[in-house]
Structure 1
Amino acid sequence: MPGPEQAKPADTPAPAAAAQQNNVWKPAISQALEKTAAMIPYFEGKSYPHVSDKSWKYKKESYNNWTAGFYPGMLWLSYQYTKDEKFKQAAEQATTRFKDRLKNAGLSDTHDLGFLYTLTTAAQWMAVKDTAAKQTTVEAADALLKRYRPESDLIQAWGKKGDKNNGGRIIIDTMMNLPLLYWASEQTNNEAYRKAAISQANKTLKYIVRPDNSSFHTYYFDQNNGQPLRGATHQGYKDDSTWARGQAWGIYGFALSYRYTKNEEYLEASRKMARYFIEHLPPDQVAYWDFNVPVLADTPRDSSASAIAACGVLELLGHLPKDDKDRAYFEKFVNDSMTSLVNHYSTKNDPDAQGLLKYGAYNVNNKEFNQHTIWGDYFYLEALMRLDKGLHGYWYE
């Protein structure tokens, strides 16, 4: 299968309303819905996709991974878009096991609870007003709040409390888990969730976002007193490089933090990180896996990073005035990048491929790239549905 380096750059449409793009978005959504529907009997609500194998098929995995919520999230989006009961039934079946997952101490002690429960039980509450799902989502926020370390004023990303290597470590991915805390604060009137989320956002903005608006993947602090130590990477090219997916998490995460707090610093962080992302893209507007990696013929792309960034910029656009100086610039990026994803990275012409997007990259350092990634599929679908009908997913009500 030819790689994306052999594809022609996508046509560059002028900034346009979604209606002018119906010839691109609607067929892409139709194809994505067909692929999503075909996953239902394959997974049967008992297993969850993570990344694909070399045959472009997803492996059947348990709900242990941080990614288990994305497939149910796709089902909930599909139901809200179509009102087709088959998607609703499959979404409920795939979501119901998450209540049991929360009872497992080994699986509930993670910073990824936002990814896991925002797209499952929160989605169920928002889509069909299931009160039991709402209660489970609050309990997930309680579990995430336990990851907050007051002595260092941060939400610990990995490891147990006191872990020598990870005890004072934050990662940019956590920005996308904060909506769970903001939402819980609004639902319960408990400010503890909101305060922890704001502390994490502030720390991320001050230390992970660099002066040139690029980002570290991760940052270390003294876990006893919160003193900053150093920036580093886990999945990027090197410690001082800019991992593309991390930059995308920042664009979307800060825009969502602005939605909940109206802190202008978060909106500006999203804007500036978006400009950095766009300014460092190749001609076809789909990111390589790291913005500092040497670009060769076989350098991996990360289509998932571009799908996340498109969602983030669409969220950002929703907060900018109509006459904002950057509006046309950001609209052009979304149209260009999403058109490129549809025409050159999607599986619309590949009936044997199971996922929606090709050329995702999980962890290039571990040789995991050129694959479907379920989070890439989710954000691609969310971006298309935002463009077509304004469906924004479940990061807020």
Structure 2
Amino acid sequence: MKIFKITFLCGLISVFLSGCSAGKQKTTKTDVKVTLDKNAVKIKESLKSLKVANGFPRNIPNGQNNWKLVGVKDWCSGFWPGVLWYDYEYTQDEEIRKAAEEFTEPIKTIAYSPADDHDIGFQVYCSFGNGYRLTGNPAYKKIMLAAADNLATLYNPNVGTILSWPSKKQYPHNTIIDNMMNLELLFWAAKNGGSKELYKIANSHAEVTMKHIVRPDSATYHLGSFDDKTGAFIKGYTHQGYADNSMWARGQTWGIYGFAIASRETGRKDFLETSIKLADHFLNRLPKDGIPFWDFDDPKIPNAPKDASAAAVAACGMLELSALIEDKNVKEKYINAAKNLIAILSSDVYLSNNKNNALLLHSTGHHPKNKEIDIPIVYADYYFMEALLRIKNLK
């Protein structure tokens, strides 16, 4: 049945990618308000079965209705409070605000614990960052500044990047493309009372990533291994993609979004051009139904799982990118691409509706380890909500 639905949807929007490389896309429309209203009902319903003391939503296994929960140290802990903050931003519902505050509060331990990996940005910026943006709570600002300093302890000046996974001892120094998303916390802190060194660290990290982890074919490695003494690039690898030289979908979208943020914060045109290059390669390789498979080079395509989370991240990244581009036609190209992705995710093929407590179906987490395959995952919901609000607020 799922294959039939996706095939049918494909027939409806087969024009999606026509003219993509020329920057002239036909836009599949969706009523953003209707989708946000549906999401608001679903989020409030989900809260009935969730308590802060029990943990944070991460995924919903096949055949189940409720979220599988994880602890505060899990890299996904910040996404659920982020979903709540986005929902509060839309609804102004004080019950949702209270829940957002309750689920945000425990994450402050991340700011004051030794840095285990690069995910501090995902954990703290998605929760406290959105909370501070919407409330101006000075306590949130203090925690975010502490978290930025904590993340900076993983920086290796010999390499010029943040060490992503200290636990992976097989690499002298590793940096993953996901880490581009965590630089926003450092850029923010440098502008809001933190050390100016945080800006330098973030700028250097983006520069080295651009030079070595973005490949000549306009795709990205998942992981770059470096000599921790000399900084020399050793080799590019994958962990969650199909192969070292394949195009892992979510990694590509972390790059699109991350380099757009880096360009916004630094004004560097080379970061902007990198984001554009990654976005164009992503769009040019999208399948006809408009949503990426988990890896663009999986030989099992078209019988490979999709990754709705990659589509949601890509939409956010392209909306961020569009705001940096002056040329009206090019700007509209990325806005329309983002709208198309969100329209498809808002269809009955990808919306959870009555199936379970998530917003979106069909995400893929770690395919090589057979983990989180074709199920709802919380970061898909987070970036889906972000993209919907971005589209709603477009002028």
Report how far residue 6 of structure 1 moved.
4.1
Q: Which moved more, 1:374-383 or 1:28-37?
A: 28-37
The answer (yes or no) to whether the contact 2:322–2:332 under 8 Å persists in 1 is no
Structure 1 residue 297, shift from structure 2 partner: 4.4
Which of 326, 331, 337 is 2:341 aligned to?
A: 337
Alignment of 1:375-394 (within 5 A): 375-390=379-394
- The reply on whether 1:373 has 2:382 as its aligned counterpart is no
CA contact (8 A) 1:248 1:305 kept: yes
Q: Which runs of 5+ in 2 are unaligned?
A: 17-23
**How many Å separate the matches in 1 of 2:350 and 2:394?**
21
**Aligned position for 1:100:** 109
Give the one of 54, 57, 60 matched to 1:49. 57
Report if aligned partners of 1:172, 1:218 keep a CA contact under 8 Å in 2.
yes
Superposition map of 1:220-369 within 5 A: 220-324=225-329, 326-347=330-351, 350-368=353-371, 369=373
- Contact residue 58 and residue 355 of structure 1 kept, 8 A: yes
Corresponding residue of 1:209: 214
From 76, 80, 98, the equivalent of 2:85 is 76
Shift of 1:125: 1.4
Taking the aligned partners of 1:327 and 1:129, their CA distance within structure 2 comes to: 31
Shift of 1:16: 8.5
Q: Quick check: 63-72 or 51-60, which moved more?
A: 51-60
Report the CA distance between 1:189 and its aligned residue.
Answer: 5.3
Equivalent residue of 2:52, what SS? coil
* Secondary structure class of the residue paired with 1:365: helix
Pairing 1:169–2:174 present: yes
TM-score by length of structure 2 reads 0.91
Distance 1:45 1:283, change over 3 A: same
Does the CA-based 8 Å contact 1:156-1:166 persist in structure 2?
no
CA displacement, residues 311-370 of structure 1 (integer Å, 9 cap, x when unaligned) = 00011111111434x23432332232221111144335x313111111100011122311
Residue identity in the other structure for 2:218: N
Q: Percent identity?
A: 31
Give the conservation status (yes or no) of the 8 Å contact 1:181–1:193: yes
* RMSD of aligned residue pairs (Cα, Å): 2.1
Deviations along 1:65-92, one digit per CA (max 9) or x if unpaired, are: 1011011001111111111101100000
Supply the AA of the counterpart residue of 1:8: L
**Distance in 2 between residues matched to 1:7 and 1:55, nearest whole Å:** 24
Residue pair 1:185, 1:192 contacting (<8 A) in 2 also: yes
Structure 1 unaligned spans of 5+: 392-397
Say whether 1:188 aligns with 2:193. Answer: yes
Determine whether 1:2 maps to 2:6.
no
Paired position in structure 1 for 2:132:
125
Match of 2:2, SS state, is: coil
Length-normalised TM-score, structure 1? 0.91
SS in 2 for 1:361: coil
Q: Which amino acid in the other structure matches residue 387 of structure 1? A: I
Contact kept, 8 Å, 1:307 with 1:338, in 2: the verdict is: yes
Distance of 2:34 and 2:101 partners within structure 1? 26
The CA distance in 1 between the partners of 2:318 and 2:34, in whole Å, is 22
Query: 1:17-96, aligned counterparts within 5 Å?
Result: 21=29, 24-46=31-53, 47-56=55-64, 57-96=66-105
Mapped contact 2:293–2:307 kept (Cα < 8 A): yes
